[in-house]
Chain A
Amino acid sequence: AQSVTQPDIHITVSEGASLELRCNYSYGATPYLFWYVQSPGQGLQLLLKYFSGDTLVQGIKGFEAEFKRSQSSFNLRKPSVHWSDAAEYFCAALTGGGNKLTFGTGTQLKVEL
């Protein structure tokens, strides 16, 4: 079955440290891929998306993600984390002929000061 996997449920990093959140997908063709962030009590905010072309995509708030077809991965990175980045991060893929966003289970990021 087509799916999106986020292997890490919780991640803790120190402020100023680099961050990488993992995402793997399982689809026959290259899906359209997204990263969303959800702060407590808030909705989902789009960080970045990959449709085609350059495999390194830049997003808001200093985030970037790299699509690697050989690894079926779309990992999210940030060189230096800020305390305000503490939130839950969701990787998602557009499937079902474009009707449905399938989400990973999310990674909860904690930032230590």
Chain B
Amino acid sequence: GAGVSQSPSNKVTEKGKDVELRCDPISGHTALYWYRQSLGQGLEFLIYFQGNSAPDKSGLPSDRFSAERTGGSVSTLTIQRTQQEDSAVYLCASSVNRGRGNTIYFGEGSWLTVV
């Protein structure tokens, strides 16, 4: 597609439920990133995928968070047993290859509200 596509754009879920957020990167982009944007917390790096390499999971805040990338394209971020503090905008981004020297393009985000 023309840009990074994320779904759902908005999600309201009850505390304790699991949620899945989807990201379709720009066609041909091998690098994929997930970021979280919380009110008052700014933008936090969560996880990074590059081709077939092991993902960099160093930003995931707890073991309730996981992500996978199937076929080197679409990625799913899963949050288990959601908590109210998980409420945030989850942004996906992609770039042509390893980030250095390449532009990282962002999707419009998935707004998650945990009630």
Residues of A within 8 A of B (CB): 32, 34, 36, 41-46, 49, 51, 90, 92, 94, 96-106
The interface bits of chain B over 70-114 (1 if a CB of A lies within 8 angstroms of the residue's CB, else 0) are: 000000000000000000000101000011110111111100000
Quick one: which of B4, B100, B106, B109 contacts A36, CB cutoff 8 A?
Answer: B106
Residues of A within 8 A of B56 (CB): 96, 99-100
Q: How far is the CA of A48 from the CA of B28 in the complex (A)?
A: 22
Q: Is the CB of B45 within 8 A of A101?
A: yes
> Could you list some 15 contacts between A and B, CB below 8 A?
A43-B91, A44-B106, A46-B103, A46-B105, A51-B101, A92-B43, A97-B100, A98-B101, A100-B48, A101-B99, A101-B104, A103-B42, A103-B43, A104-B42, A106-B42
B83 to chain A, nearest CB (A): 23
Residues of B within 8 A of A43 (CB): 4, 91, 106-109
Minimum CB distance partner of B111 in chain A = A41
B92 to chain A, nearest CB (A): 9
B38 to chain A, nearest CB (A): 11
A16 to chain B, nearest CB (A): 30
Q: Is the CB of A98 within 8 A of B91?
A: no
Quick one: which of A41, A46, A100, A104 contacts B45, CB cutoff 8 A?
Answer: A100
Q: How far is the CA of A34 from the CA of B98 in the complex (A)?
A: 16
B54 to chain A, nearest CB (A): 12
Residues of A within 8 A of B48 (CB): 99-100
Q: Is the CB of A98 within 8 A of B98?
A: yes
Residues of B within 8 A of A102 (CB): 45
Residues of B within 8 A of A32 (CB): 100-101
Q: Is B33 an interface residue (CB 8 A)?
A: yes
Residues of B within 8 A of A44 (CB): 91, 93, 106
Question: Lowest 9 CB-CB distances: which A-B pairs, in order?
Answer: A98-B100, A43-B108, A44-B106, A103-B43, A98-B99, A105-B42, A43-B106, A100-B45, A99-B48
